[in-house]
Structure 1
Amino acid sequence: MAKTTPEQNKARVLEAFDTLFNRRDYAAAERFWSDRYIQHSAHIAPGREGLFDLVRTLPETLRYENQLIVAEGDYVIAHGRFSGNGRPAAWIAADVVRFEDGKLAEHWDVLQDEATRAESVSGLPMFGDRFAA
């Protein structure tokens, strides 16, 4: 059983997300996601294949950008943006990942459409320090 540190887990999440969402390298992505992967997202079918199959249906323009990543023990929370998703607005996501044996073993997320400047009651962007173009 591989035991990883929170810093290693943060780096692995960022590399895994880049490999799957930005590069679409499914074979390489398999080394990051456990074959016993548990998916809690209501919009994604079970398991690693459910996630990979969803990504295959999304436009090639899909991109993941990370704004903030924190880790404690075997858990990582990544605050990011999924743009080019084929929807009117990008998704702002808080992805929670649990590691087991050095791999992404379980996942939960909270997704919200990114607000424009006109839609933001606070007047502040949801991601980074400026509104998306």
Structure 2
Amino acid sequence: MSERNKQTVLDFYELGLNQKDFHAAAKLIGDRYVQHNPRIADGIEGFEAFIATLRADFPDLKAEVKQLFADGDHVIAHVYGVRVPGQPGTAIVDIFRLDEAGRIVEHWDVMQPVPETSANSNGMF
């Protein structure tokens, strides 16, 4: 189940965020989608509005999954997101919960801008 859920999340990033293809990504979302990001409404309608905003405001946005972890019905992704090419981007940790059918039914995230300078040489990824 964990490997299947990881693949679902990878497909979700590619179809939904990178390609901004709402209809393809919507097939990966369960009947009840609970969103914990305060800028995105619950449900498939909230996800559709989010994708429409990305298409309009950040058509070149790319999300690169750097690490992916799964434990049962939860998948955690460590992601490098760049809204506009050439900008430093954002380090993101997304947490997804999937249902028995392997569809995404809940999402949490935390985001931190990638700084231009750092007190260490470890990088954010």
The TM tier, using the shorter chain, reads: 0.7 to 0.9
Partner of residue 103, structure 1: 103
Structure 1 gap segments, 5+ residues each: 128-133
Matched pairs, number:
120
**How far apart are 1:33 and its partner, in Å?**
1.0
Query: TM-score, normalized by length of structure 1?
Result: 0.83
Sequence identity percentage: 35
**How far apart are 1:73 and its partner, in Å?**
0.6
Specify which structure has the bigger relative contact order, considering alpha-carbon pairs within 8 angstroms and separated by 6 or more residues: 2
Amino acid across the alignment from 1:123: S
Q: Distance in 2 between matches of 1:114 and 1:71?
A: 25
Pairing 1:19–2:18 present: no
Partner of residue 30, structure 2: 34
Amino acid across the alignment from 1:107: H
Considering fraction of residues, name the structure with more helix: 2
Cα RMSD for the two superposed structures: 1.6
Q: Is the 8 A contact 1:94 1:110 kept in 2?
A: yes
Q: Distance in 1 between matches of 2:46 and 2:91?
A: 21
**How far apart are 1:85 and its partner, in Å?**
4.9
Query: TM-score, normalized by length of structure 2?
Result: 0.87
Q: Following superposition of structure 1 onto structure 2, how do residues 1-133 of structure 1 map, counting pairs within 5 Å?
A: 5-58=1-54, 59-85=58-84, 89-100=88-99, 101-116=101-116, 118=117, 120-127=118-125
Structure 2 gap segments, 5+ residues each: none
Q: Distance in 2 between matches of 1:35 and 1:14?
A: 20
